[in-house]
Structure 1
Amino acid sequence: MQSQNISDIIEAYLKKILADSEQIEIRRSEIAKLFNCVPSQINYVINTRFTEQRGYVVNSKRGGGGYIRIVKVQFLHDRDFLEALIGSVEDRISQADTLAIIQKLYDEQILSQKEGNLVLAMLNAQTLAVNDKQLEEQLRARMLIAVLERLRYEIK
């Protein structure tokens, strides 16, 4: 029988708690005491086993009343679609191409009409207010990629 290491045990414990709840708040020192390990071991588990790629968002607050909050995220069914869109946005994108992408997100029911309009307003040339067309398109591309990456998952 293969024995589990402490990281596997801590991960299993936290996932068991998360099975009953969509998010948990823990104190690093309390979990370390529970498993008789150093607090940095808890950091290691959180940083390697509870990543966005694995379906979690982690927030923390340091200090006396500090905590680590782990939230389960729900991946969208058509993740490949969003990844393809991200791959299609190069280092620059025109306002017209941005409109086409937002329209596609609306057509696929990933964005509501209101959400799409908000994103378009944010990426509009007048909002960006940059006199250099190349810089405007670079900013638009970075912001659109950030939106698309965020859409790859939804917090439950």
Structure 2
Amino acid sequence: MRNTSDMIEQYLKQLLQQSADGIIELQRNELAEQFQCVPSQINYVISTRFTLDKGYLVESKRGGGGYIRIQKVDLGMHEMIHVEVSQTIGSEIDQSAAEGLIYRLEEAKLVSCREANLMKAAMHRETIGLKLPLRDEVRARMLKAMLVALLTK
């Protein structure tokens, strides 16, 4: 049996797929009521499973008329990819964020499964074998170089 967080994630992804513009707005309390959970669980799912490195932009407004807006980011344009890659990666990136970005590129069919697996292997902390923060800096440089090589046509 799936847990509540998994069910909430799947529900939100289905709503996004059904949305004509790839954007959904929802009320945290209404969603919590629907899944019979506390609103903080909704926050947890959104903050851990709908992140930029996983392909989502989230905007949240608290208060009485508050809402959560989730948007699936389309990575179809290469120039947009370069800007987003630079912003997402920056001068350092940890293994989890790197893998999230690679997953997102694979999901968008911008890299093949094989390319994604090679990139993940190269990003692994054991492969790089350096102490922090140098490891995250080297990982960022390697990932940027790989993505520029793969995404520039």
- What TM-score does the superposition give when structure 1 sets the normalisation length? 0.49
- What TM-score does the superposition give when structure 2 sets the normalisation length? 0.50
Larger Rg: 1
